[in-house]
Amino acid sequence: MDPALSILDRALKGDAGALSFLERTAAIYVYDSTGPTGSNEPKICGAWGFLNQALSEVERHESRMARAYQGQRVVLDAHVQLLATMSRKASRRCPASDQRLVEVCLSNAAHFHEHGSNKSAHELIENNQQMRDRVMGRIATITFDFSNHPTNIHSFSSAFSNPIAMDSLCAVVAANAISTGPHEFSSLVTGWVIPSMNNMPPFAVASVIYHLAAEAMSKSAPGGTKNALQSLFDDLISKVLAPMLLESVRNSDNGEAQMGGGDREWSHRVAAMTIKALERWCWAASCSITKLRNVCRTVNINIVEVISDAMYSDSDIVMDSLSELLDSLLRKHTESESAVEGLSIANNVMGLTSFLSPDMIQLHSDVASGVEERDSILMELVSAVGLQRFRFKARLSSGDSGVCRCLAGIALSIASASKNLMLSGKLNGNEKGMVALLLTAVSHSSLNVYSLALDAFTFLINPRNDLSTRLLPLLQSKAIT
């Protein structure tokens, strides 16, 4: 193996020296006074130089493997994933931090004190930044252009095409954009993702969008990142994620060809990643399901209907992602309702409205004004999950606990949010399907399924219904078995 690949290979096998080398290379820079072979020019050695060399070695190796017709092949999937992990750590440093690390390196180098100058220091810092830009450009090209993934007719597939490696490389692109600052973040979304979404692989687009929100929520994100995310939210949802979700849900269970892969599993991955991206952005922007529907309405997409259609997916990963999305959206709904109830009590009992901050008064006004709209959305979701009771029974009889667990989790989120509707009787019997699903889920043999169903009943049981009576025999049978 080539030098960089050899180090990665040894690290994967648990070699302490190789692991230590990768850890230090990602964290510090070293001044090399000898320079390249045959040159007296010094250079800075660190993460970006190593990553550039490693990417070149992977590309050379795969080019040879793609031309080979037979013989033993060394698969580099794990090597590329380790390389992406290292890249992500380095890309989370902002350029200013990178510059300071180079300056610290130069200040500690005795040879540079003797022979260096301010001009040479500036050149070394500039060269390191250029190397960073080059590596990030190569990673973005690999991620968004599948023509850079060598293949042949003998079933050879590039390690860059591995979904886990691709997702990790997308995370590197996102981490670099966030660490560079809000302007770079906005430029990536408005100047690249939105205009070019139809020309790039859907999985890569969704993955980068997901990781942008995840990185923006981190404590290490630069100041102004949250404001930039809020300003980008409406355009990104309406122009990218909503259309992508609509298309991916349509394709996820019929296996229509997708860029970068045409099988059904790949379609499921695209749908799941799109839903995960939508969930992260809604969570980061504190977006309720009401606001999400209003944003999607601007492009004539009924997002509640799309979510309801996604419940029919046969894929565990799609259903898992959908469960997380609904949990996130409906949790915001429940939090807002609780805030309004608290403000109403304070106002009625103590007359404290005049002492509330403008933000709290605005919250009270916004939430109270959308009560009917929120109730309408919840009724749609209650009916949608109720229709899944027949599929739940079919899955139960076939011993499939994955989709059953996800459906129970979705029903739990919806039941939690619709507690007040149950108490008021506004559901008018629409909850019967959801209740039937949950009662069936209680009889499931898997703890992961029936525990979710039991949690849901804590929100549904009230003095006005007979759910406790219907649930008791099932609990007794559980106790006996």
Measured CA to CA, the distance from residue 392 to residue 441 in angstroms comes to: 8
Mean pLDDT of the chain: 85
Q: How far is CA 469 from the centre of its chain?
A: 42
State yes or no: pLDDT of 244 exceeds 70.
yes
What per-residue confidence (pLDDT) applies to 481?
Answer: 61
pLDDT at 326 over 50: yes
The pTM for the full model equals 0.86
The continuous run of DSSP H or E covering 269 comes out as helix 264-284
Q: How far apart are the first and last CA of the chain?
A: 58
Taking residues 196-221, report their average pLDDT.
92
| Residue 368, pLDDT above cutoff 70 | no
Residue 188 has pLDDT above 60, yes or no: yes
Q: What is the mean pLDDT of residues 148-176?
A: 80
What is the per-residue pLDDT across 447-471, written as a single tens digit (0 to 9) for each? 899 999 999 999 999 888 888 889 9
Question: What angle (nearest 5°) sits at the alpha carbon of residue 372, between those of residues 368 and 375?
Answer: 105
Q: What is the pLDDT of residue 153?
A: 46
Residue-level pLDDT at 260? 43
pLDDT at 196 over 90: no
Task: Give the range with max mean pLDDT: 155-164, 205-214, 419-428.
Answer: 205-214
Position 272 confidence tier, pLDDT thresholds 50, 70, 90 = very high
**DSSP helix/strand/coil, 30:** strand
Report DSSP letters for 116-136, one per residue: --HHHHHHHHHHHHHHHHHHH
Which residue reads 């100047």 in tokens?
Answer: 191
pLDDT band at residue 112 using 50, 70 and 90 as cut-offs: low
Taking the alpha carbons of 460, 462, 466, 468 in that order, is the dihedral positive or negative?
Answer: positive
φ, ψ for residue 151, nearest 5 deg: -145, 165
pLDDT of res. 173:
95
Task: Say what the pLDDT of residue 354 is.
Answer: 56
Per the DSSP assignment, residues forming a β-bridge with 261 are: 258
Whether residue 10 has pLDDT greater than 60: yes
- Average the pLDDT over 332-350 and give the result: 58
Least confident range of 130-134, 204-208, 365-369, 425-429: 365-369
How sure is the predictor about 69, in pLDDT bands with cuts at 50, 70 and 90? Answer: low
pLDDT for res 149 = 63
Give, for 44, the enclosing helix (H) or strand (E): strand 43-45
Q: Which residue has the higher pLDDT, 477 or 190?
A: 190
> Given a cut of 80, is residue 140 above it in pLDDT?
yes
What pLDDT sits at residue 57?
Answer: 92
Instruction: Say yes or no to pLDDT of 68 above 80.
Output: no
Q: Quick one: pLDDT band at residue 258, thresholds 50, 70, 90?
A: very low
Per-residue pLDDT at 261: 44
Residue 190 has pLDDT above 80, yes or no: yes
pLDDT mean over 154-170: 83
Q: Encoding tokens for residue 425?
A: 């009787």
Average pLDDT over residues 92-97: 92
Which phi and psi angles does 68 have, rounded to 5°?
-75, 140
Find all residues with CB under 8 Å of 204, minimum gap 6, and list them.
Answer: 143, 144, 166, 170, 260
| Residues sharing a CB contact under 8 Å with residue 367, sequence separation 6 or more, in sequence order | 336, 337, 339, 340
